[in-house]
Each structure stands twice: as structure tokens, then as C-alpha cells.
Chain A
Amino acid sequence: MNKIYAFIIIIPLIAMLFLKSMTFYEFDTKQRYIKNTVDSVAHKVMITGVLTVSDKEELMDKLRKLSDFEDEDVSLKCGDMQSDGTITGLYEYVLGNVLDRGEVFSIYVQSKDESTLSRMEGNSDNENNKLFYKAKAICRIEKIQPEGG
């Protein structure tokens, strides 16, 4: 009988630890994938200067496999780098627009729903403590302008 009491204590603790590990592993892995996906897009734009509609669709497909992402959850911006080396006044990037060398491109994604880890940790009560899948990349276009361009 004593052993039964013992297992009543031990098994829930093991289960809790296992679940925490699983949710942390899930968050960590997905977050890394999302960051890599965003970095790949940023690199593509950095080299070519353009993000096409099909590129965006491809990005959305990849993101939706990992979590709940809608079109409005992906923010694409562009603008110029100021002469003092700062970045201000970025505006909405229109898909297909070819950016010039030296311009700045920014991509920011944030999942619609908070992560399982966040729900499990009980962060849902406070909006500021919620843990979303999110990633950001800002790059400067480095493509070589075509002759006469």
C-alpha cells in the first residue's frame, strides 16, 4: 500500500517534468525553424532586392506548418538608411517591388496564438507575458545594380 502512495507522488512529478520538457522542446525547435525561415527570406531579398508574391506564399506555407500565421501577422517594410547610419521611417513594402542597393528591408513575423509552453506556464492571464513565436530580420540590399541602372 505504501508503494501505491509513493507512486501517487512520483508519477505525477515525472509526468509534469516530461510535459514541461516536451513543450519547451517544441517551442525551442519551432522558434528556431521560424527564425531560420525568416532569415532565409531576408537573405534572398538582400541578394536579389525583391520579394515576389510566390516567395511570400512559400513563406506563409512554411510558417503555417509550424504555427498559426495569417497574412497580417507578417510585416514587410522597407526604406532608406539615413546619412547618420540610423534607420527611421520604414514604410510598407509592396510585393514585387525591386529595392535598390543600400535600401533597408525588414521582415517581422509573430504567431496569432501564443505557444503551448506559454499556455502551460500560465502566462495567458497577462497579455505582456504571453510567449509567441516571433522572428525579425533587417537587412540592407547588397545586390549589384545592373549596368546603367
Chain B
Amino acid sequence: MKKFNPKVDNEIRNIGNIICYPTENKLKKAVRIFQSERGGGFGTIFLGLAAILLAFVVFINIADYSIFTYKRNAISKAMDYAVTAAAQQINKTQSIVGVANAFDEDTGEKLLEGVEIDIDMANRTFLTMFYENYKPDDLSIANNLLICATSTMDGKLRYSIKADTEQKLDGVLDNPVLIEERINQAMDQLWPDTEDNSQVYIIGNPKTNMIENGTYLFAYIKDIKITGLYLQRQISLSSFAGAKLERKL
């Protein structure tokens, strides 16, 4: 059994008001070296540098996430501007115009049916407006963009989905609630090999359904890679806008 050494052991007992027992372990040895006059400098340097390294790693990570969120917010904002601009690309030749067609014969009310968005022009306008607002060197969205234009005809919702700059899907839905499912199906169909399984959520419940029969434009950017300070993260973003139509005499 180890002999009790009052000089050393009492010193250990008093460290930081922590109750210590004569049994020495590695931690106590380290603390004793740190507290002793001899070799104390190395202990301080070691602990100090470790703390600085830890603080540095934390700082770098915070900075990285901060840059990422700034870029993500800027992209999200650019999408808002782009989708609002693109929603105005009405195809007048495809849309119903004229007093005889655009007004209800019985009531005289203005009808907003049959007003079509030109999906090709909307796609081009979206990209122009997006890049005007946000154009880093390391990001191209042309091949990650899906846009969906809707319009109403005879109480049904017509849609046109364009993605990957070339592929196009058209169809008619009896109920506007079904558009969410249709967009998600189109995404699975157009990008079958994607790693990201995120879906578009438009409908919270039947009462919070954002989609009604009308002329709308949805935009969805899938799997874009945003680099912060050093980490690259993959996200998907969506936005939509109504065409804010008005019939005039």
C-alpha cells in the first residue's frame, strides 16, 4: 500500500476545491504538473492551444454556415423575383381575348379563364431574372429547374410542366388540389436518379390549399449545390406566383 505523503497529497486535495483522494490518476498528474512551478508553461501552452483550436474550429463552422445561409437566402429571394417576372409572360395568342369570350354572357362579369402563360418564355424570363439577381460562378440552375404553369378552362385546371430546359408535360386536372401530386410525379419522372427525395408541398389541408383554379406559375430548383466557406450542401427550393390578371374593356 502506498504511503501517505502529507505534502503532496494535501496539495492534490486542495486543487480547485475538489475532494481528491490519495490515489493518483493521469488527470491528477496533469493537473499537478500544470499547477507546479516546474513545467507549468508547457501545460498552459498545451491547454491554451487546445482551447484556441477548438474555438477556431467552432468559428470556421459558424462562418461556413453563415455564408451558406446568406447564399441560400439570396437564391430564395432571386427565385421570388424570377417567378414573379416569369408569371407575367402571358401568351396572348393562346389566351382567350375579346369581349365576347372574356366576359360572362349572363352576368357580364369578367372571366379569368383561358389565360395561358407561355411556358418557354416563362422559362427564359425566369433564368434571366434569376441570374440578374444572383449569379455566382459555381452555380447553374438551368438543368435543375422545373417550372409549372397552370390555367383554367371549363372549370378544370390545365397545366404545363417544363424541366431540364427541354422536357415538357401537359395535362388537365379535375381538381386543383391534385397539382401537388402531379408536380411530384413529374419530378420523379424527370429526375429518377436524384439523391434528394424532397417533395413539393403546396397543400397543408383542404382549407389551406394555396392552389385554386387560375393562372399560376410554380418554380422548383432541385438539388443545387451551395458552397459555404468549405462545405458543400445540397438543397431544393420552390416558389410560386399568381399572374395577377385583370380583364379590361
A residues adjacent to B (C-beta < 8 A): 1-3, 5-7, 9-10, 13-14, 17, 20-21, 24, 28, 31-32, 35, 39, 42, 46, 81, 84-87, 101-102, 104, 106, 136-140, 142, 144-145, 147-148
Contact B246 A6 (CB under 8 A): no
A81 touches B125 (CB 8 A): yes
Q: A137-B77, A137-B81 known; A86 and B41 CB under 8 Å?
A: no
Q: Is B201 an interface residue (CB 8 A)?
A: no
Known: A32-B70, A46-B84, A142-B244. A136 touches B41 (CB 8 A): no
Q: In the complex, what residues of B have CB within 8 A of residue A147's CB?
A: 248
22 example contacts (A-B, Cβ-Cβ < 8 A) are as follows: A3-B41, A6-B41, A6-B45, A17-B55, A17-B56, A17-B59, A20-B59, A24-B66, A81-B85, A84-B124, A85-B121, A85-B124, A85-B125, A87-B129, A104-B85, A137-B77, A137-B81, A138-B133, A139-B129, A140-B129, A142-B84, A145-B246
Q: Please report which residues of chain B, range 111-152, place their CB below 8 angstroms from some CB of chain A when the two chains form the complex.
A: 121, 124-125, 127-129, 132-133
Give the chain B neighbours of A86 by CB distance below 8 A. Answer: 124, 128
C-alpha gap A104/B132 in the complex (Å)? 11
Instruction: Say if the beta carbon of B98 comes within 8 Å of chain A.
Output: no
Q: How far is the CB of A25 from chain B (nearest CB, A)?
A: 8
B residues contacting A by CB (< 8 A) are 39-42, 44-45, 48-49, 51-52, 55-56, 59, 63, 66, 70, 73-74, 77, 81, 84-85, 87-89, 121, 124-125, 127-129, 132-133, 241, 244, 246, 248
Give the residues in chain A near B56, CB-CB below 8 Å: 17
How many angstroms from the CA of A136 to the CA of B73 in the assembled complex? Answer: 13
Find B77's partner among A21, A39, A84 (CB 8 Å cutoff).
A39
Top 9 A-B pairs, shortest CB-CB distance: A2-B41, A85-B124, A10-B48, A140-B85, A6-B44, A85-B125, A138-B132, A6-B41, A6-B45
CB of A140 within 8 A of CB of B121, answer no
A102 CB contact (under 8 Å) in B45, B88, B133: B88
Tell whether, in the assembled complex, residue B52 and residue A142 are in contact, meaning their CB atoms are under 8 Å apart.
Answer: no
CB-based nearest B residue for A145 = B246
Contact A6-B48, Cβ < 8 Å, known A102-B88, A139-B81, A142-B84: yes
Output the least CB separation between A116 and chain B (Å): 15
The interface residues of chain B lying within 8 Å CB-to-CB of A28 are: 66, 70
Return A19 CB to nearest CB of chain B, in Å: 11
* Alpha-carbon gap, A33 to B72, bound state (A): 15
Residue in chain B with minimal CB distance to A6: B44
What chain B residues lie within 8 Å of A140 (beta carbons)? 81, 84-85, 88, 129
Chain B neighbourhood of A6, CB < 8 A: 40-42, 44-45, 48
Asked if A2 contacts B42 (CB within 8 A), the reply is: yes
| B40 in contact with A138 (CB, 8 Å) | no
B133 touches A13 (CB 8 A): no
Q: How far is the CB of A67 from chain B (nearest CB, A)?
A: 17
Given contacts A5-B41, A10-B49, A32-B70, are A85 and B128 in contact (CB under 8 A)? yes
- Chain B minimum-CB-distance residue to A144: B246
Cα distance A140–B59 when bound, in Å? Answer: 39
Bound complex: CA A19 to CA B59 (Å): 11
Least distance between B67 CB and chain A CB atoms (Å): 8
Are the C-beta atoms of B63 and A24 separated by less than 8 Å? Answer: yes
